[in-house]
Copies of this chain bind each other. A is one copy, B any other.
Amino acid sequence: MDTTLVLENIAKHVKLSEGEEARFISLLSEKKLHKREVLHKEGEICRHSAFVTDGALKGYSVDKTGGEHVLNFAVSGWWIADMYSLFSKRPGVIIIEALADSRVLLLSRDSQEILFNEVPKLERFFRILVENSLVANQQRLLDNLSLSAEDRYLSFIKKYAFVLQCAPLHTIASYLGITPEFLSKIRRNISQ
């Protein structure tokens, strides 16, 4: 289990002692996922946050007509979970699935809550992590309201180079809130 990346991720925000790092690592478990393998199913309670060490995952929901709506992606160095389900301990609506062969470190919500009490610096770390996620989400809401689909696609390319390699066109279009046909048109315009 390679924990270098997750410890670097934490060290950006708080400084743990060796003992605290060891305690944190003792509560992680590693999981390998094949491309298209589902980490979390809708209708189930999401019990873990996943830190991606390799590959990429997507979070999405499926509507009554079978339409797929992509909420988010997580690439190497990012955390992903069905936040609603994780925090509320109720069944969720999000499916989390590997876009490519991937490797994740799992931290259960129960373990996380133990850490909040044992190592207050980790409560601080997760507070900052969630603050940053909230800012990223608000920015995406604003981008959806104020930027053209082409500008949203250009900013997507910068942020998610790896997703671009492994996700099919319709998945990226869904994330951007446009049809695959419209995304093809945008790509043709950009390449000209």
The residues of A with any CB-CB pair to B shorter than 8 Å are 61, 63, 67, 69-72, 83-84, 87-88, 93, 116, 120, 123-124, 126-127, 130-135, 137-142, 144-146, 174, 177
Contact = CB atoms under 8 A, between A and B. Distances in A.
Main secondary structure of the interface of A (DSSP, over half): helix
Identical chains in the assembly: 2
Nearest to A59: B138
B174 A145 contact: yes
Contacts of A144: 141, 144, 177
A189 B71 CA distance: 30
A71 B174 CA distance: 21
Given A83-B135, A145-B177, A126 B127 contact: yes
Contacts of A70: 145
18 contacts: A67-B146, A69-B145, A69-B146, A71-B142, A72-B138, A83-B131, A83-B134, A83-B135, A93-B142, A116-B127, A123-B123, A126-B127, A130-B131, A130-B134, A133-B134, A134-B134, A145-B174, A145-B177
